[in-house]
Amino acid sequence: MNTITAKEFTEIECSDRSYELEDYETETPRWCKGCGDFGVLSVVQKYLQEKQVDPESVVCCSGIGCSSRLPHYMKTYGFHSIHGRALPVATGVALMRPDLQVLVVMGDGDCFSIGGNHWLHAARYNMNATVLVLDNEVYALTKKQVSPTTRAGTLTNTTPRGAYVGGLNPLSVYMGISNRSFLAQTATWLPGHLEKTFRAAWEHKGLSFVRVLQRCPVFMPDAFDAGGVNFPALFLDGGDEGIPVEKGFLKKSPTVKHDFTDVNAAQKIAQTEDMEPIGLIYKNTDTPTYQDIRESRIAHLSRSELVSKLNEEINKYSVQPK
C-alpha cells in the first residue's frame, strides 16, 4: 500500500487549491438597495478570485461606517476597527507581516475627518497597502451628518441651514503630501473603470490611494447627478499605462491627455474645480516604501546576538551583584 507523509499531504492540498467566488464571500451584505458599496465589494472579490489570491494572505482593515462593513463580507482576515483608525491598524499589519496583502476601506468621514492625520502620514510613509475611500459626501451610517467633502449649502442633520463651508478636495490635499506614490479617482457607477482602477491599485507597490465616488441613494440621492449622464466628469487619457474609461461614457464628458508620471501635471489635475477627474492621476514607482527603508536600516542579527544585545541594554538599568 502506498502511504504519504503528513508533509506530502499538505503539499498536495496546497498545490491543488483553487478558489471559487464563494471562497471570498461571507454573508449577504446589509447595505441598502442601490448602495454603491455593493459594486466595490463585487470588484474586490472578483479580482481576488481571478488572480487566485489565497484568502488567508489578505487582511481587510476598516474603521466604522457603512463602507467599513466591507471586511465583514470578505472571507479573508480582517479588522473592523474604530472610527477613523483603519490606517493605524493597517500600518501595524503591513509592518509586522509584509507577507500579507493589506486592503483598507474607509468612508469620507472616517478618512478625511477623524482619521485625517492618519491619512496624511500613512501616505507620507508610503506604506504597502491598497486604500479605498468610498466617498458619498456624507456620514451615512449615522444618518446624514455633514462630512468633510459635503458641498456648501447641502442640508444635513447637523447643517439644517445648509453646510456653511465647502468640502475639502481630497485629491489636491493628497498631491500636497510628500512621498505619495499612487492616486486615482473612479466611481461606483462606472463598474468597468472601478475594476481597472482596483487592479492597478492592488498591483502598485506602495500606498495606492483611490477615491471612489460612491452613491448613497438613501441620504445623498442627488449627489453626483445620481451617477447620471450630467455628472461633471473629466476623463483622463493616460495612454496605454493609464486607466481608461469605457468607450460609451467618453461621449458624455470631456477627455484630456494626462501624463500621470508628471507631478506638476498631476497637481494641476487634482486641483480641477467644477469637474471630477476620473482616471489615474499620479503614479511613481520609484518612491521607496516605508517597509523597504526600514528593512535596509535594520541590522540583521542572529537570535543569540539579539539576546546578548538585549541583555546588554537591560543590564544598563539593573543593579549588578557585587
Ligand X SMILES: Cc1ncc(C[n+]2csc(CCOP(=O)(O)OP(=O)(O)O)c2C)c(N)n1
Q: Which residues bind ligand SF4 (CB under 6 A)?
A: 31-32, 35, 37, 66, 136, 140, 216-219
Nearest to 202 by CA among 184, 215, 179: 184
What the block records as the C-alpha cell of 298 is 535594520
Touching ligand X, residues 263-322 (CB under 6 A): none
Residue type, 112: F
Identify which of residues 35 and 127 has a Cβ nearer to ligand X in the complex.
35
Burial grade of 116 (CB within 10 A; 0-12, 13-18, 19 or more) = middle
Touching ligand X, residues 16-75 (CB under 6 A): 64-67
Q: Write down the least CB distance from residue 218 to ligand SF4, Å.
A: 4
3-state DSSP assignment of residue 235: strand
Nearest to 98 by CA among 306, 298, 261, 320: 298
Kindly report the backbone phi and psi dihedral angles of residue 190, in degrees, each rounded to the nearest multiple of 5, phi listed first: -120, 70
What the block records as the C-alpha cell of 215 is 452613491
Identify which of residues 217 and 288 has a Cβ nearer to ligand SF4 in the complex.
217
User: What single-letter DSSP state applies at residue 289?
Assistant: P
Q: Which sign does the torsion angle of CA 299, 303, 305, 308 carry?
A: positive
Q: Write down the least CB distance from residue 37 to ligand SF4, Å.
A: 5
Q: At how many degrees (to 10) do helices 86-96 and 290-297 cross? A: 40
Judged by CB under 6 A, the stretch of 39-47, 135-143, 150-158, 298-306 that binds ligand X is: 135-143
Q: Should residue 132 be labelled a site residue for ligand X when binding is judged by CB under 6 A?
A: no
Encoded one letter per residue, x for contact with ligand X by CB under 6 A and - for no contact, window 194-233 reads: ----------------------------------------
Q: Should residue 105 be labelled a site residue for ligand X when binding is judged by CB under 6 A?
A: no
Q: Tell the residue number behind the cell numbers 473612479, with chain if given.
A: 186
Identify which of residues 31 and 231 has a Cβ nearer to ligand SF4 in the complex.
31
Q: Which sign does the torsion angle of CA 139, 134, 55, 29 carry?
A: positive
Q: Should residue 108 be labelled a site residue for ligand X when binding is judged by CB under 6 A?
A: yes
Element of type H or E holding 13: helix 6-15
- For residues 71 and 41, is the Cβ–Cβ distance under 8 A? no
Identify which of residues 118 and 258 has a Cβ nearer to ligand X in the complex.
118
Q: Should residue 154 be labelled a site residue for ligand X when binding is judged by CB under 6 A?
A: no
Q: Write down the least CB distance from residue 30 to ligand X, Å.
A: 12
From 107, 167, 206, 238, residue interacting with ligand X (rule: CB under 6 A): 107
Q: Of ligand X, ligand SF4, none, which one does residue 147 interact with (CB within 5 to 8 Å by kind)?
A: ligand X
Q: Of ligand X, ligand SF4, none, which one does residue 31 interact with (CB within 5 to 8 Å by kind)?
A: ligand SF4
Enumerate binding residues for ligand X (CB under 6 A).
64-67, 83, 107-110, 114, 134, 136, 138-142, 147
